[in-house]
Amino acid sequence: MISLKETFMSSFSQIMGTQRILPIIQSDDIAAGVKAAGIMQETGLNVIEVVLRSPIALEMLREIKLQYPDMVVGAGTITHRQILEEALAVNADYIITPTISPGLLRDLEACPVPVLPGVSVMSDILQAVEFGYSELKLFPASLAGGAPFLQAVNAVFPNVKFCPTGGVSQENKATFLDLPNVFAAGGTWLAKKDTLIAGDWDAVRAACHAAQV
């Protein structure tokens, strides 16, 4: 059987496949982040994002890929060329940005892995479309209009699909996932920072299982 990692993927939705929840790991402790990733894989969540918001995030991404080579591990919070190059240097499988600019989009044009640009307003969406993107991240989803915003933009950009993150939770995920222009939704609720600090791995496991129901 050909694994996901052995198959050429040209888009972020292809990477996600049938997985509709994107777990996001944000941890100040490498071991805790690696442990959470292992639980995610154990529960059937093989595609995860590590946000690069701490000094150890790149090393944590590298370690997760070493410990769990069958997982697809992407880098989030890419905002400029240097961090993009650093993420690619640790073999990030895909790139996610929180926002866009003409400069960042130009830097991403030669990116060798799939990219999911972040948008929050209509002008962002149009700019991303002009650069050839049809799959985008809505961030922060809860503050950028949430599900009603996505419903409205579907009429204007019917060929654009979204993965909302930021304010997505177990309680409201279905509101997003039921929309025809949403192919996945992501968040940190599966492995909250305080849960990782407490080492409550049963809570992480339970959240991963619940997210897929």
Residues with catalytic annotation?
49, 137
- The answer to whether the Cα torsion of 29, 21, 4, 107 is positive or negative is negative
CA–CA separation, 179 vs 162, rounded Å? 10
**Residue 121 DSSP label:** S
Instruction: Convert 6-51 into a string of H (helix), E (strand) and C (coil).
Output: HCCCCCHHHHHCCCCEEEEECCCCHHHHHHHHHHHHHCCCCEEEEE
Instruction: Quickly count: other Cβ atoms within 10 Å of residue 183's Cβ.
Output: 16
